Structure 1
Amino acid sequence: MKIYPLLMLGALLGLSQCQKNDPAPVDQLPPATQTGANTFGCLLNGQPWTPQGNNGKPNFTVSYDPGYAGGALQVKTYRYVEPNQVRQGITFGAANVTQAGFYSFDLPNSNSAFYTDLSQPSPCDYIGDPPRVTYQKGTLTITRLDLTQGVVSGTFSFTLYQPGCDTVRVTNGRFDKKL
Structure 2
Amino acid sequence: MKNKFLLLTWLLAVPLLWGGCDKPLFKTDRGSIAQPDELPPITTTGEGTFACKINGVNWQRCGGNLKDSSLSGNWSPNYKIFQLSAFRDCEGFNDSVSISAYLDSLGRYDLHRGNYFNADLPCLDRWPSFYSLLDSADNWVEILNLDTKEFIVSGTFQCTLVHEECGDTIFITDGRFDYDWAN
Q: Does TM, scored on the shorter chain, surpass 0.5?
A: yes
Q: 1:155 to 1:134 in 2, by over 3 A?
A: closer
Q: Which residue of 2 aligns with 1:51?
A: 61
After superposition, residues 72-111 of structure 1 pair within 5 angstroms as 72-80=81-89, 82=91, 85-95=92-102, 97-105=103-111, 111=112
Gaps of 5+ in 1: 1-24, 106-110
Q: Which residue of 2 aligns with 1:140?
A: 141
For normalisation by structure 2, the TM-score amounts to 0.70
| Pairwise CA distance, 1:62 | 2.1
* Conserved? CA contact 1:26–1:172, under 8 Å: no
| Pairwise CA distance, 1:138 | 1.1
| Pairwise CA distance, 1:89 | 0.5
RMSD of aligned alpha carbons: 2.2
Q: 1:43 to 1:37 in 2, by over 3 A?
A: same
Q: Which residue of 1 aligns with 2:151?
A: 150
| Pairwise CA distance, 1:177 | 1.1
Q: Which residue of 2 aligns with 1:165?
A: 167
Match of 2:130 among 126, 132, 157: 126
- Percent of pairs with identical residues: 30
Question: Counterpart of 1:37 in 2: which secondary structure?
Answer: coil
Runs of 4+ deviating beyond 4 Å: 133-136
Question: Counterpart of 2:179 in 1: which secondary structure?
Answer: strand
Using the alignment, how far apart are the partners of 1:28 and 1:149 within structure 2? 28
For normalisation by structure 1, the TM-score amounts to 0.71
- What do the CA deviations read for 1:58-112 (whole angstroms, capped 9, x no partner)? 21122111112xx110001111254xx34201001012x110111113xxxxx11
Question: Would you say how many aligned residue pairs link Structure 1 and Structure 2?
Answer: 142
* Conserved? CA contact 1:59–1:77, under 8 Å: yes
